[in-house]
Amino acid sequence: MIDVIIPGKAGKIHAVYHKSSKEGSPLAVILSGSPRQKCHMNDRVSYAMFRAFMDLDFSVVRFNYRGVNDSEGSIGTVNDNMLDIAMVMNWIQNQNEESEKIWLAGHQMGAWYVLQMLMRRTEVTGFALVSPEESISDFGFLSTRPNRGVLLQGQNESEEALAFGAHLKQVLNKQAKIELETIRVKNADAYYTQSADLRQMYNDLKAYVGRENLGEDKLL
């Protein structure tokens, strides 16, 4: 993996990129949680998601939103961060024009960005939501977008968070025709604080993506 600089609307975006040795390998973009909650591309959860795709021979990138660490600009709004995500997606696709599949994976607020991009970018073929932020209740941006994805939550997250995960699954299926598989990581909290919990999340994500990516009928 190497450090790269990606041109962004607010200046340079600092990213870390792994290029698969296999031509035509699928792509993945990792979306960290909110910078206002101290999340960034090198936090434990973002790195674990990155490694899951890297170890499956994806070409994968993780990055800092504007104003975070070495990415230029000021910490932005949701719309600002969405623009940064679009620039990173464009960059990795331009680097790998032979690739036909691209996945998104996000933690907490990053999980909401995944759903937003899924509605905007028809080329997204798979996605993962890791302990999504449950305070957001506006689903008005959803439209019919048949696809499949996975929701990972820690078994020890709050009752409200777990109930929200079940609600999210219903909403996605009803409003967008999205099938969402749910995986509960035993003993984990929303930040996968213990090393064993983080390892289990990595294993569960890797197993799901590996199975879906190899299946003949999995991506719509």
Concatenating the DSSP letter of every residue in 164-185 gives HHHHHHHHHHHHH-EEEEEEEE
Spatial strand order of the sheet with 11-18 comes to: 2-8, 11-18, 59-63, 27-31, 102-107, 124-130, 147-154, 178-185
Higher pLDDT, 137 or 72: 72
Residue 139 confidence (pLDDT): 87
Helix, strand counts (H, E) of the chain: 5, 8
pLDDT (average), residues 95-124 = 95
pLDDT grade for 215, boundaries at 50, 70 and 90: low
Give domain status of residue 161, yes or no. yes
Give this prediction's pTM. 0.94
3-state helix, strand, coil in the chain (%, to 5): 35, 25, 40
- pLDDT bucket at 217, cuts 50 / 70 / 90: very low
Contacts of 119 (CB under 8 A, 6+ apart): 141, 142, 143, 145, 176
Question: What are 139-167's pLDDT values in tens digits?
Answer: 889 999 999 999 999 999 999 999 999 99
Q: How many residues does the chain have?
A: 220
Averaged pLDDT of the chain: 93
pLDDT of 136? 75
Total domain count for the chain?
Answer: 1
The arithmetic mean of pLDDT across residues 73-85, rounded, is: 92
- Closest by CA to 120, choosing from 145, 138, 99, 139, is 145
Q: Residues 153, 167: contact at Cβ < 8 Å?
A: no
Q: Residue 87 above 90 pLDDT?
A: yes
Flag whether 219 is in a domain.
no
Asked whether the predicted pLDDT for residue 218 surpasses 60, the reply is no
With a cut of 60, say whether residue 168 has pLDDT above it.
yes
Decide if 113 contacts 82 (C-beta within 8 A). yes
Identify the H or E element spanning 117: helix 109-120
| Predicted pLDDT at 111 | 96
Instruction: Please say if the pLDDT value at position 175 is more than 50.
Output: yes
Q: Is 191 helix (H, G, I), strand (E, B) or coil?
A: coil
Q: How far apart are CA 43 and CA 48, in angstroms?
A: 9
83 vs 86: CA distance, rounded Å: 5
DSSP state, residue 23 = T
The residue with tokens 């975006």 is 13
CATH number at residue 119: 3.40.50.1820
**160 is a domain residue:** yes
Is 63 within the bounds of a domain? yes
Domain-located, residue 220: no
The per-residue pLDDT for range 26-55, each reduced to its tens digit, is 999 999 998 888 889 999 999 999 999 999
Residue 129 lies in a domain: yes
- 8: containing domain: 2-214
